[in-house]
Structure 1
Amino acid sequence: MSGNGPRRVMSIAVILTGVFISAVDMLIVNIAFPSMKESFPTASLTGLSWVMSAYAITFAALLLPSGRWADRSGTKRVFLLGLALFTLASAVCAAAPSLEVLVATRAVQGVGAALMAPSSLGLLLGLFPPERRGIAIGLWTAVGGVGSAAALPLGGLLAEVDWRWVFVVNLPLGIAAVLIGAWSLPRSATEDGPVPDLLGIAVLAASVAAVVATITQGETWGWGSAQVVGLSLAGAIGLLWTVRRAQSHPAPVLEPALLKVRTVALGNVATGFFFMGVGAMAISTILFLTQVWRHSTLRGALEIAPGPVMAALFAVPSGILAVRVGVHLVGLVGASAFAAGGIWWTYALDGTPDFPAHFLPGSIIGGIGFGVILPALAAASTLSLPPERVATGTGMASMSRQIGMALGVAVVAVVLTDTPDLSSFRASFMVMAGAGLLSGLALFAIGPVRRPAGTGADTSADHLPHAATR
């Protein structure tokens, strides 16, 4: 779709709405944990953590297959289906009568988000000329940052009334976006292709769930118990089986050809580590403010908000800079700043509430790092790919993101336990810092990346590893 007409503007708005509500919904549940605890008084912190983890696991398992499906069946169709499912699941989450129903429905909501994520960037890139792809990536990540920023104060405000409203807020936006998108979004070329590996999807989701359950329940069950050992083995065997199956299946849940692209492989490693740190940060900050400093949920949400706001402000210029200067340099700077925020909180925070001097600097520094590294992660995962594989590449990166998030939440749920003290929070912030630094080192290892494929190079799928190897 060319030009700057109202239909193009509406298309961009619809796509970014999907990005916005999926970003809001990942973090808004963190702020609602204290309110959820009141509705489900027998639930432990590890039990509540599954409200995030169930979403992340199904999101992760379905991202790459949905990216392949978007490439082959049309990004518009897949995006609208995902948006509709996400909106419907939000309504059911809002009405959930028990924690078990809420967790199960969050898993369904993750399916909808997984269908949206890779197709959203593919659709957005199609609305911009090739020379402005960096702006499109920056805009995509910036809106995600705005969603993260809005999630905290909005979630705090809604949770003060009832945690169910954090899901109700998705309904008007989702319904409007589906109706407008059906009219405005451009139709994309479709290809016949093999059916996605449904068995591989199920095994991957079950394997990640087993690993997360091992981490979250290890202390309760005993690290040497039969349950923990059995789940650990099941998770490891399932992951190995998934990798082996991907070598021969025509539409695997993991795509070996993409992992032969050096930037894509290292970009996914960096993404997994970084969002492990984000998961640690997301849980630790709100619980510290509400349990150690005894601030209200709304006040804690407002105190966290400056970090995501800084991320949103830095995302677009960093996206342009990452394309021009290199993801390895921009990514290392962003990761270092994010880690510095975690280190600041580790040593500056204590039992005496002092938001301007002790909490705010870490939030600003970490938020800047968040905004700087996000476009670098997205660029590392897509810029070396031919245009017809962007949705698939985005799906793989988002899968790494969700797996990292689930693992980070699981680790911190164990570190904090149900009655965390100051030392356990400091350990959680060090998890955030360490994961951030590992992410930056993985991006730096990429080195300079050549210009995006699609400018005269062979971009066929059969030659993918040769078309973009750095």
Structure 2
Amino acid sequence: MNSPDTRTVVPPEIPARPRLGVVFAVVAAGVAMSNLDVFIVNVALPQIGGHFADASLSSLSWVLNAYAVVFAALLVPAGNLADRTGPRRAYLVGIAVFTVASVLCAVAPGVWTLVAARVAQAAGAALLMPASLGLLLASAPPERRGSMVRAWTAISGLAAALGPVVGGVLTQFDWRWVFLVNVPIGVAVLVAGPRVLPRTAGGGRADTARPDLPGAALLTAAIALLALGLVKGDDWGPGGVAGTLAVAALLFAWFVYRSGRHPSPVLPLPLLRVPGFGPATVANVLFAVAFAAMLLSVVLWCEQIWHWSALRTGLAIAPGPIMVPALAIGAGPIVRRVGAGPIAVAGCVFFAGGIAWWVWRLTPDAGYAQGMLPGMLLTGIGVGLTLPTLIGAAVTALPPRSFSTGSGVVTMARQVGTVLGVAMLVAALGVPRGTAEALDAFDAGWHLTLLATAAAAVAGLCVRRRSGGENS
């Protein structure tokens, strides 16, 4: 008979900490889904307009802008909620909301019903995005956090690369499939997430103030009125536009005032005083203006000037975005050596070169290889260098307790820029009466895009190199 001391003692089972790669895979699926949806919808927008025949371009722009406005306004309250309750719960709830809203988008009977469903999608995306980065940063050791930020950003670039192509293929069948494609991804994440995502504790307390939802409503109204004033210029005239913009400015001033006094504001003003965070966030807004205007302009050019199909348009756009993931990851060692500011500025220079090429060479008679492709490659290099660098410089400047909230501020900044970029381009294009007028309108839109890119470069010069391993 075996004595007790010869037996193998099995210690109590301790749940193994999920591997970072597994966590990243589940998080990447949700991030890719929410980003893929944006780029798919860009390509499908003309087909959606064809289905809802009474919808003007300014009305259709709200299929994009309603999502971006609500996304921007809810990101920081959602990030705050993730920090308080734990990013795991916020991420999974966000995935569920986004998946259900995607179904509602697909069955929408009219353009404004579709816009309402896009608002619900935005609420889900606002929950999952800051929580996703919070999960990664909490799971990664400090020396790998910068790499995780760049990899997280690269997912957006990969979605940009695949989105136009996938959108083009799906739109060949029916535009509603660009929303239904989210359903299997969302279901897979909801099945796998509870098993592999870490149970990161939230930092909230019972007496912690609730997020400032009235402040979020103020920001929503301010951004929406700003975009509305820009896209309705032809219909309302100078007086109506000026009045709308003035009200938007007053609402935004009220929002900033409220953020300075509320215990849990939408925009935590002290974060903007963190070295490196404020300038990088401003640069993110400005570069997002240029990026959003560029992407929509290419879609509209291919489908309205060249009369290409959605699939051909998606393939035409893909070469630029497909460069982003490799550049986003590969630029990390260079950022460590020279700092984020010079790399961001270099990216802006490449991006501006692509836009300038289109102004110079892109005409209805120009071939794709000589007219559009060089600009797509240059803008792809610019996005790959600039976007992940600015996001990394901002987020990794923050203390761990503010990861989700801070990433919400950065993503909010990008979404505000996206709204302004789309509205700016729609205002520049207007309602052209002929080919010559349309070409002039595209040139005007690209000149405005160049101005936004130059402003982003100036802001990038203010992003200082920080010591430590944040960019690793």
Q: Normalising to structure 2: TM-score of the pair? A: 0.92
Structure 1 residue 6: Cα displacement: 6.9
CA distance in 2, matches of 1:177, 1:343: 41
Structure 1 residue 11: Cα displacement: 2.0
The residue type paired with residue 20 of structure 1 is A
Aligned to 1:194: 209
Name which of structure 1's ranges 5-14 and 415-424 shifts more when overlaid on structure 2: 5-14
Aligned to 2:6: none
Deviations 1:328-386 (A, max 9, x none): 11111111111111111111101214111111111011101101112211122112211
CA distance in 2, matches of 1:449, 1:34: 45
Structure 1 residue 290: Cα displacement: 1.4
Partner SS, residue 188 of structure 1: coil
| 2:69 matches 1:57 | yes
CA distance in 1, matches of 2:153, 2:331: 10
Q: Are residues 57 and 156 of structure 1, via their aligned partners in 2, closer, same or farther at CA, if it must alter by over 3 Å?
A: same
Aligned to 1:403: 416
CA distance in 2, matches of 1:3, 1:195: 33
Aligned to 1:177: 189
CA distance in 2, matches of 1:306, 1:3: 44
Partner SS, residue 232 of structure 2: helix
| 2:314 matches 1:297 | no
Of the three residues 394, 400, 411, the one matched with 2:407 is 394
Q: Are residues 183 and 263 of structure 1, via their aligned partners in 2, closer, same or farther at CA, if it must alter by over 3 Å?
A: same
Name which of structure 1's ranges 300-309 and 421-430 shifts more when overlaid on structure 2: 421-430
Aligned to 2:147: 135
Structure 1 residue 428: Cα displacement: 1.6
Structure 1 residue 54: Cα displacement: 0.1
Q: Are 1:82 and 1:114, in contact at CA under 8 Å, matched by a contact in 2?
A: yes
CA distance in 2, matches of 1:149, 1:178: 25
Q: Are 1:138 and 1:317, in contact at CA under 8 Å, matched by a contact in 2?
A: no
The residue type paired with residue 421 of structure 1 is A
Structure 1 residue 324: Cα displacement: 4.2
Structure 1 residue 279: Cα displacement: 1.3
Of the three residues 149, 169, 184, the one matched with 2:161 is 149
Runs of at least 4 residues off by over 6 Å: 2-6
Q: Are 2:230 and 2:423, in contact at CA under 8 Å, matched by a contact in 1?
A: yes
For the pair shown, which has the larger CA radius of gyration, 1 or 2? 2
| 2:451 matches 1:443 | no
Structure 1 residue 8: Cα displacement: 4.4
Q: Are 2:285 and 2:416, in contact at CA under 8 Å, matched by a contact in 1?
A: yes
Aligned to 2:226: 211
Name which of structure 1's ranges 27-36 and 164-173 shifts more when overlaid on structure 2: 27-36
The residue type paired with residue 434 of structure 1 is L
Aligned to 2:335: 322
Of the three residues 250, 264, 276, the one matched with 2:263 is 250
Structure 1 residue 434: Cα displacement: 2.1
| 2:435 matches 1:422 | no
Partner SS, residue 276 of structure 2: helix
In the TM superposition, 1:109-124 aligns within 5 A as 109-124=121-136
| 2:236 matches 1:221 | yes
Q: Are 1:322 and 1:375, in contact at CA under 8 Å, matched by a contact in 2?
A: no
Structure 1 residue 107: Cα displacement: 1.1
Q: Are 2:351 and 2:383, in contact at CA under 8 Å, matched by a contact in 1?
A: yes
CA distance in 2, matches of 1:282, 1:4: 43
Deviations 1:76-102 (A, max 9, x none): 111111111111111100110000100
Q: Are residues 4 and 314 of structure 1, via their aligned partners in 2, closer, same or farther at CA, if it must alter by over 3 Å?
A: farther
Of the three residues 155, 158, 169, the one matched with 2:170 is 158
Structure 1 residue 446: Cα displacement: 2.1
Structure 1 residue 4: Cα displacement: 10
Partner SS, residue 143 of structure 1: helix
Aligned to 2:7: none
Aligned to 1:12: 24
The residue type paired with residue 112 of structure 2 is E
Deviations 1:214-245 (A, max 9, x none): 111122111213xx344223211111111111
Q: Are residues 445 and 3 of structure 1, via their aligned partners in 2, closer, same or farther at CA, if it must alter by over 3 Å?
A: farther
Q: Are residues 4 and 279 of structure 1, via their aligned partners in 2, closer, same or farther at CA, if it must alter by over 3 Å?
A: farther
Structure 1 residue 266: Cα displacement: 0.8
CA distance in 1, matches of 2:140, 2:96: 25
| 2:54 matches 1:42 | yes
Give structure 2 stretches of 5+ with no counterpart: 1-13
CA distance in 2, matches of 1:319, 1:73: 32
CA distance in 2, matches of 1:216, 1:444: 31
Structure 1 residue 321: Cα displacement: 3.1
| 2:274 matches 1:261 | yes
CA distance in 2, matches of 1:369, 1:133: 23
CA distance in 1, matches of 2:394, 2:254: 24
Q: Are 2:142 and 2:469, in contact at CA under 8 Å, matched by a contact in 1?
A: no
Structure 1 residue 423: Cα displacement: 1.5
Structure 1 residue 449: Cα displacement: 2.0
Structure 1 residue 3: Cα displacement: 12
CA distance in 2, matches of 1:162, 1:286: 18
| 2:96 matches 1:84 | yes
CA distance in 2, matches of 1:372, 1:413: 27
User: Once superposed, what is the RMSD of the aligned Cα atoms?
Assistant: 1.8
Aligned to 1:460: none
The residue type paired with residue 194 of structure 1 is A
CA distance in 2, matches of 1:375, 1:407: 20
Partner SS, residue 239 of structure 2: coil
Q: Normalising to structure 1: TM-score of the pair? A: 0.92
Structure 1 residue 320: Cα displacement: 4.2
